[in-house]
Structure 1
Amino acid sequence: MTDFRAIRIDKDDGGARAAYVEMREAELMEGDVDLDVAFSAINYKDGLAVTGKAPVVRRFPMIPGIDLAGRVTRSAHADFAPGDLVVATGCGVGEAHFGGFAQKARLSGDWLVKLPPALTPARAMAIGTAGVTAMFCLLALERHGLTPRDGDAVVTGASGGVGSFAVALLARAGWRIAAVTGHPAEADYLKRLGAADILARDEFSAPGRLLQTQRFAAGVDTVGGATLVNILAQTRFDGAIAACGNVAGMEFAGSVAPFILRGVSLLGVESVRPRMALRRAAWARLAQDLDGDAIDAMSEIVSFDQALERARAIVTDKIRGRVVIDLGLRL
């Protein structure tokens, strides 16, 4: 049995603590596919798991990391064979099942997607749950029938992982984008991704009128709370907002006015459940719509030894874009 390194969260009477540990393959949880993990990524949810700031971990001990990319070493699943490059995002990985902050993983093949040929494992993790969620939002807006001809789009939390990808993907699809951020120093970064206007977070973070000046035909909200309420109040007739985050809180102290007086739609976007047909379509579209330079502009790669520190930093709003973890394995 081969030893491998992992970040593991253990819990006792003193509480939960995350630390680097050495583990054995026999300690991995059940699954029909074994992987050598080459890259993972740090998501806000991983930061919550590592710091314990929210109860996202559903069993202990737990290896966090809701994203991973690697090579199959053993498979009892009909869709995968040793040597396949695969990616996993969400599906309870890093919450209820050992995740990507480890050099080895054992997962259900039903949670895996073969890596599109246009993507390297590192770039797939630069995309990760953030990019998949942003693509789910874009697909939801397109299913709703919205196009760039309908008006401007807004993205909140634009300098974060999901927000950055939402800006880049909407821009690639032809939308004129207003990016909302609490980090004015990131204006040049957001404009390079495709944003036309940079709006201050403070404009949207306090309670406002039930209906406000119509500004946006569509949008992606990664924040929730009062920001989502204000964005909806500024959405045009028959527009829609895809909501996928709750950084500002789970409460929705809003009004039905935008829905019944302007026909605005609120589209909920969920990124945890498998829904593999949708995931495969999202990955194929991501590989088609994003070039390598765009992906690299939104990400940085850190060593595994830096991962725990950076996971703690993400919950303090100190990280821009995506942080990819190099697990030190060469595929």
Structure 2
Amino acid sequence: MSTSFKALIVEKSEDKQFSRHIGERTIDELPEGEILIKVQYSSLNYKDALSATGNPGVSRIFPHTPGIDAAGTVVESQSDAFKKGDEVIVTSYDLGMNTAGGLGQYIRVPQQWVLKRPQGLTAKEAMGFGTAGLTAALMISALQSNGVTPEKGPVLVTGATGGVGSIAVSILSKLGFNVTAATGKASAEDFLKRLGASEVINRETLLDNSRPMFKEHWAGVVDVVAGDTLANAIKSCQYNGVVTASGLVGAVDFTTSIFPFILRGVRLIGIDSVECSMDVRTQAWQALASDYKVETLESLVTEITLDQAESSLLAMLKGQSHGRIVVNMENS
């Protein structure tokens, strides 16, 4: 008899409505792959919320188990690169999109998706970072490798209460940067300052897209919003400023002038944490386990059980969450 386990299951009805429940799945139902993993912790991301509500841009195969992040232990391996008992992390690729994800107590995935959890990170800490932390690490690394240092001036983080934003604020602060956090949540100012933000501004101040350039201000930008927020940030960068972009919380496009690029040498760098190479993501995870590991991580994390995942995902869609939500899959 195949081993059964608990999972969040999203189902699509004949009238194209979507429902969610905690149910039983079996290992035999999992897709093919060289590595079978018992999941210890997962985490919730905006993409999981979209998958759980049937967004066709994320998931098209139902019934389905979301969860783009997972940390756990190898149970079976058909790969020489991994053995039973290895502590591993899987994030992004197709996990939790159309491949059964980390909101199930077991996953089976291709070996190319798996990396060994670096020393210095517990499974819970790894999921406290998750895809959001990986993305933040890639963005900050891009700023640093392009010459942005604390001495150059302030760094702007947009969408600062979200997963990527809150982790970016924490890491940049640890590295000595003067961080300005932009948010639409007035109640989050104390939270963001505890993470290390020097200044908290209302996101509305970044929506003015009326001029081709603004006064030079930011040495670097971590943007997950896009739209007019990204356009304004580009126009407000210092000479040789660097803008990293990874999200579309506010819009899927933006309009700006060419002037910041040709008169100030501003650089716009796109960040992808889904299909980036294993070498790149391994380096980022090593940084998260060492130089980028923050003392504020615990204050960023809310731990829940699998039974609480649905309500937390729906709250995330409504903008009613902040920081990181980690799901304890062993106590679910």
TM bucket (normalised to shorter chain) is over 0.9
> Matches of residues 54-65 of structure 1 in structure 2 within 5 Å?
55-65=57-67
Give, in whole Å, the separation in 1 of the partners of 2:171 and 2:210: 29
1:97 aligns with 2:103: no
Give SS of 1:288's match. coil
Q: Percent identity?
A: 37
Corresponding position of 2:158:
156
Q: Which moved more, 1:200-209 or 1:234-243?
A: 200-209
Q: Which residue of 2 aligns with 1:134?
A: 136
Letter aligned with residue 250 of structure 1: V
Count of aligned residue pairs for this structure pair: 330
Residue of structure 1 in register with 2:214 after alignment: 212
More deviation, 283-292/36-45: 283-292
Aligned to 2:230: 228
Is 1:208–1:230's contact at 8 Å kept on the other side of the alignment? no
SS in 1 for 2:83: coil
SS at match of 2:290: helix
Contact 2:174 2:294 in 1 (8 A): no
Q: Which amino acid aligns with 1:157?
A: G
* SS class of match (2:8): strand
Contact 2:6 2:25 in 1 (8 A): yes
Q: Pick from 112, 119, 132: which aligns with 2:114?
A: 112
Cα shift at 1:293: 3.5
Secondary structure of 1:267 counterpart: strand
Q: Is the 8 A contact 1:33 1:106 kept in 2?
A: yes
Matching residue of 2:11: 10
The offset of 1:291, in angstroms, is 4.5
Opposite residue 11 of structure 1, the aligned amino acid is K
Q: Give the Cα–Cα distance (whole angstroms) in 2 for the partners of residues 87 and 59 of structure 1.
A: 24
Q: Deviations over 1:217-242 (max 9, x none)?
A: 10100111110001111001111110
Residue type at the aligned position of 1:228: L
Contact 1:103 1:327 in 2 (8 A): yes
Match of 2:191 among 189, 195, 199: 189
Quick one: structure 1 residues 104 and 13, their matched pair in 2 at CA, closer, same or farther if it must change by over 3 Å? same
Question: How big is the shift at 1:277?
Answer: 0.4
1:67 to 66, 69, 91: 69
Alpha-carbon offset, residue 5 of structure 1: 0.9
2:290 to 269, 288, 291: 288
Consecutive unaligned residues in structure 1, runs of 5 or more:
none
Tell me the residue number matched to 1:165: 167
Tell me, in whole angstroms, the C-alpha distance in 1 between the residues paired with 2:286 and 2:122: 13
Query: Does the aligned pair in 2 maintain the 1:41–1:67 contact within 8 Å?
Result: yes
Q: Which residue matches 1:314?
A: 316
Cα displacement (A) at 1:292? 6.3
1:240 partner SS: strand
Residue correspondence of structure 1 range 23-38 to structure 2 within 5 A: 23-38=25-40
Whether the 8 Å contact between 2:305 and 2:331 is mirrored in structure 1 is no
Amino acid of the residue matched to residue 73 of structure 1?
V
Separation in 2, partners of 1:143, 1:62:
39
Structure 1 equivalent of residue 148 of structure 2: 146
Deviation at 1:74, TM superposition (A): 0.4
- Give me the whole-angstrom Cα distance separating, in 2, the residues matched to 1:274 and 1:65: 19
- Tell me how far 1:96 sits from its aligned partner: 2.4
Quote the Cα distance in structure 2 between the aligned partners of 1:174 and 1:54: 41
Q: Give the structure 2 partner of residue 272 of structure 1.
A: 274
Contact 2:137 2:292 in 1 (8 A): no
SS in 2 for 1:38: strand
Counterparts of 1:268 and 1:47, CA distance in 2: 23
Distance 2:44 2:208 in 1: 29
> Which is worse superposed, 203-212 or 191-200?
203-212
**Whole-angstrom distance in 2 between the partners of 1:194 and 1:294:** 9
Unaligned stretches of 5+ residues in structure 2:
none
- Corresponding residue SS for 2:289: helix
Query: Which secondary structure state, in structure 2, belongs to the residue aligned with residue 187 of structure 1?
Result: helix
Provide, for residues 272-327 of structure 1, a one-character-per-residue CA deviation record: whole Å limited to 9, x for no partner.
01510011100100010345642101111001100111011111111110000111
What is the CA-CA distance between 1:157 and the residue it aligns to? 0.6
What is the root-mean-square deviation in Å for CA atoms of aligned residues?
1.5
Corresponding residue number in structure 2 for 1:302: 304
Shift of the alpha carbon at 1:139? 1.0
Q: TM (normalized to structure 1)?
A: 0.96
The answer on whether the counterparts of 1:90 and 1:274 sit within 8 Å (CA) in structure 2 is no
Offset, 1:9: 2.1
